[in-house]
Chain A
């Protein structure tokens, strides 16, 4: 039986979460390979359409990682991102995918361990929720014989 491995998209701010991921790597910290990172110039670049598009293209979960509140390189980008993630939660609830599949995190560039922790946290959350309703059909379909994993 193949265990469900979620696809998670992480929109990471260049000034914090992306650097934190670098640090996590330098520190040899393990975090789930289910997280796919997308670098952004600021978490304020996030837009509800980007989040929805990620789900449409097969993501089971999405999170946005921006700087600590008050520390945004562009002053207010992370506050704006927070509002947009809130809006995305509402739309995802409306369309039946579930707002709990998207989350906003704040961390600084020096928080490598926290980056790994967030990745684990989101991985666990999405794993418990199961595949996105859009991926359920695909997940229940039998996998090709060669595609074996633990």
Chain B
């Protein structure tokens, strides 16, 4: 899933200070699971904004809604009337959702309430870690199901580097993922695979090649 984190309240409140009626729009997908932009977080942000603005001479009216997915037009169609009522929309979705909302409601000012962090998962309650680098060409079959693109600080494809010390990374306080890859391959009896040198990766399939677009004519309708 996409992992996101709420911006500081101070930052959000500054972005909405010139608006009197806002629609706070949550998303029921990834950001609900990572506790950043679901129905509950919408409620807390709305109440917080009202509490702040009630103390001044410019109270704020909040409209609250959470849609199934902000990254699909059909769900945004359902909030058309709410959006019309509001001066601006605070999207509590990832960057994708924010852009869909902005595109669907071109005359509305849209504010992002979250910082989108990575494609990852929850390793325990309250802790999320990056797992996929979205490089566009998966190599997990070569590395025992552990991704060096997303989880090695240097994205090394033939690791580990010389900075791997006692299973820890030299760049930041994380496990050396190449150490993990070696341990797993050893356990699986596939160490010989690691002797093969991985050639340079075609990064043009990743974000480095520009914005990516997928077209599948077989599933197109209409």
Choose from B40, B48, B54, B55 the contact partner of A94 (Cβ within 8 Å): B48
The answer to whether B47 touches A134 (Cβ under 8 A) is: no
B221 within 8 A of A: no
Q: Which residue of A lies closest to B47 (CB)?
A: A52
Instruction: Tell me the minimal C-beta distance from B80 to chain A in angstroms.
Output: 27
Verify if A91 is at the interface (C-beta below 8 Å from B): yes
Contact A49 B43 (CB under 8 A): yes
Q: Chain A: which residue is nearest B10 at the CB level?
A: A94
Q: Is B219 an interface residue (CB 8 A)?
A: no
Whether A133 and B43, one on each chain, are in contact in the complex, defined by CB atoms closer than 8 angstroms, is: no
A94-B10, A95-B9 known; A134-B51 Cβ under 8 A? yes
Q: Return the chain B residue nearest A52 by Cβ.
A: B47
By a CB distance below 8 angstroms, the chain B residues around A55 are 51
B21 in the interface (beta carbon within 8 A): no
Query: B104 to chain A: closest CB distance in Å?
Result: 28
Chain A, 54-104, CB within 8 A of any chain B CB: 55-56, 91, 94-97
Contacts of B1-56 to chain A: CB distance below 8 A: 8-10, 40, 43-44, 47-48, 50-52, 54-55
- Residues of A within 8 Å of B54, CB to CB, are 56, 134
A49 and B54 alpha carbons, distance in the complex (Å): 17
The docked-state distance in angstroms from the alpha carbon of A47 to that of B40 is: 10
Interface size band for A? 10 to 19
- Inter-chain CA distance A47–B44, complex, in Å, is 10
Would you give the 0/1 interface string for B60-84, flagging 1 where the beta carbon is closer than 8 Å to chain A?
0000000000000000000000000
Whether the Cβ atoms of A133 and B47 lie closer than 8 Å is no
Please report the C-alpha to C-alpha distance between residue A97 and residue B49 in the assembled complex, in whole angstroms: 12
Given contacts A96-B52, A97-B51, A133-B55, contact A48 B9 (CB under 8 A): no
Known: A55-B51, A94-B48, A134-B51. A49 touches B9 (CB 8 A): no
CB contacts (< 8 Å) of A91 on chain B: these are: 9, 44, 48
A116 to B43, CA, bound (A): 33
**Beta-carbon contacts under 8 Å, B99-124 to A:** none
Contact, CB under 8 Å: A52 / B9: no
User: How far, in whole Å, are A55 and B52 apart by their CA atoms in the complex?
Assistant: 11
Q: Is A53 an interface residue (CB 8 A)?
A: yes
Cβ-neighbour of A56 out of B9, B10, B47 (below 8 A): B47
CB distance from A87 to the nearest CB of B (A): 9
**Contacts A49-B40, A52-B48 known; 9 new A-B pairs at CB < 8 A:** A55-B51, A56-B51, A91-B48, A95-B48, A95-B51, A95-B55, A96-B55, A97-B51, A134-B55
Chosen A-B contacts, 26 in total, with CB atoms closer than 8 Å, are A47-B40, A48-B44, A49-B40, A49-B43, A49-B44, A52-B47, A52-B48, A52-B51, A53-B47, A55-B51, A56-B47, A56-B50, A56-B51, A91-B9, A94-B8, A94-B9, A94-B10, A94-B48, A95-B9, A95-B51, A96-B51, A96-B52, A96-B55, A97-B51, A97-B55, A134-B55
